[in-house]
Structure 1
Amino acid sequence: MPAPQMTRRRALQTGLLTTTAVGLATAAPALAAPRLPSGSGELIDLGIAMESINVRLTGSGPDGEGGTNLYALSDGSPVTFSVISPETGERLFSWSLPDDSLAYGGGVYGIEGGAYFTARSGKATALNFYDHAAQTVTPITTSGTGKSIPNTMIRNVIPDGDTLYLCCYPRSEIYAFDLPTGEVREFGRASDNGGDYAWGFTKIDDVLYVGTGIGTGQLAAFDTASGERTEIELPRTPAQIAALGTAGPLLLVPLP
Structure 2
Amino acid sequence: MAVRTALVTGASQGLGAAIARRLGSDGVAVAVAARRKPESEAVAESIRAAGGRAIAVTCDVTDREQVDAAVAATTDAFGSLDILVSNAGVTRDALIHRMTDEDWHTVLETHLTGAFLTSRAAQAQMVPNGFGRIVFIGSTSTGGWRGQSNYSAAKAGLQGLARTLSLELGRFGITVNVVQPGHIDSELTRGTAERLGMDYADMAADRIVSNAIKRVGLPDDVANAVSFFAGERAGYVTGQVLSVSGKPSIL
Tell me whether the two structures share a fold, i.e. TM-score over 0.5. Answer: no
The structure with more strand, counted as a fraction of residues? 1
TM-score by length of 2: 0.28
The structure with more helix, counted as a fraction of residues? 2
TM-score by length of 1: 0.28
